[in-house]
Amino acid sequence: MRLATIATPNGHRVVAHVGDFYVDLHATDPGLPVCMKNLLAASTTVRQAAKEATAHPHAVKYAVDSVKLLPPVPNPSKILCVGLNYRDHAIEGGKAIPTEPVIFGKYPNALVAHGDNIVLPTVSQKVDYEAELVIVIGKRAKHVPNDATAFDYVGGYTVGHDVSARDWQFRGEEKQWMIGKDFDTFAPVGPVIVTADEGLDPHNLQIQLRLNGATMQNSSTKEFIFGVPAMLAFITQVYTLLPGDLIFTGTPPGVGISRKPTPVLLKAGDVVEVEIAGIGILRNPVIAE
């Protein structure tokens, strides 16, 4: 399924994207969960009922262009990010290939939806873009093995944008990775989650970022240094992951700060699109604070 979360007169609702409509799953079948996290964590029987609801003759539908999208998981308990996870990006920056995943995090204040504004803070003059595949956790995960069973913990995949204030991220000798990545609106996600049972191969997806229509990043998740099992195995040594948790998996080359001879940084009036094959396009305008 292709799942999203929308605002309705009855509150937030998890919906399935079918053609030109979103099907309100709970309104169609009151036995189904209202929220994304509960649907991701539900039994196989419940998820099958959700699929059946999308084809119900009296399904409650909203036209795609009539709804306000929210982040697919509006309230994740954790937003974790893997830095420097593409071979071609590491080469671009002249950095050694890491021997283990580099982890940082974002807070919920950074989370925004498809169509929402990315707000440039007045205290930063070097805001950059990063296209990312995002793993959405489907069930409680701790000490996950680094093998194919790791995929049992994946609920699905979505599109993310790791917006980064480079002048804060690399500020001073101490650096400020967390703050540089965590300004308000610096984690656009969406528009949909493609559930893991759709058979998407997270290690073979074209990933692109366009800035005002010009392609700035264009690579493939084949370039991952650490695949999904390795990322989950490393992270769950420390964190207990819960349904709906988000893991940004790194960005390919072409980021603005690395462009020669002149860096390309975000400015008010820009429109950024991140596209991942098989999932969709995450589009966000850029405005000044």
For residue range 112-159, what is the model confidence (pLDDT) as tens digits? 999 999 999 999 999 999 999 999 999 999 999 999 999 999 999 999
Count CB-CB contacts under 10 A for residue 31: 11
Confidence of residue 171 (pLDDT cuts 50, 70, 90): confident
Q: Strand (E) positions, the chain? A: 2-8, 11-18, 21-24, 61-63, 68-70, 79-83, 102-106, 111-113, 118-120, 127-128, 131-137, 154-161, 164-165, 187-189, 193-195, 206-211, 214-220, 246-248, 271-276, 280-288
Lowest mean pLDDT among 5-9, 130-134, 227-231, 240-244: 5-9
Flag whether pLDDT at 97 surpasses 80: yes
**Tokens, residue 22:** 């979103």
Q: What is the DSSP letter of 98?
A: P
Count CB-CB contacts under 10 A for residue 268: 13
The predicted structure's pLDDT at residue 232: 98
Mean pLDDT on 17-29:
96
Check whether domain 79-288 has CATH 3.90.850.10, yes or no: yes
Q: What mean pLDDT, rounded, does the chain reach?
A: 95
- Global confidence as pTM: 0.96
Flag whether pLDDT at 94 surpasses 90: no
pLDDT in tens, 180-199: 999 999 999 999 999 999 99
If DSSP codes are grouped into helix, strand and coil, which group holds residue 39?
A: helix
CB 191 within 8 A of CB 69: yes
What is the distance of C-alpha 28 from the center of its chain? Answer: 27
Cα-Cα-Cα-Cα dihedral of 228, 275, 112, 65, to 10°? -130
For residues 176 and 239, give the distance between their C-alpha atoms in angstroms, rounded to a whole number.
22
pLDDT in tens, 245-278: 999 999 999 999 989 899 999 999 999 999 999 9
Pairing between β-strand 280-288 and β-strand 164-165 as defined by DSSP bridges: unpaired
H, E, C per residue of 263-287? CCCCCCCCEEEEEECCCEEEEEEEE
Flag whether pLDDT at 90 surpasses 80: no
**Tokens, residue 216:** 């700035």
Pairing between β-strand 154-161 and β-strand 193-195 as defined by DSSP bridges: antiparallel
For residues 189 and 80, give the distance between their C-alpha atoms in angstroms, rounded to a whole number.
13
CB 209 within 8 A of CB 98: no
Query: Residue 91 — φ and ψ, nearest 5°?
Result: -65, -40
CB 157 within 8 A of CB 194: yes
CATH 3.90.850.10 in the chain, residues?
Answer: 79-288
pLDDT in tens, 215-236: 999 999 999 999 999 999 999 9
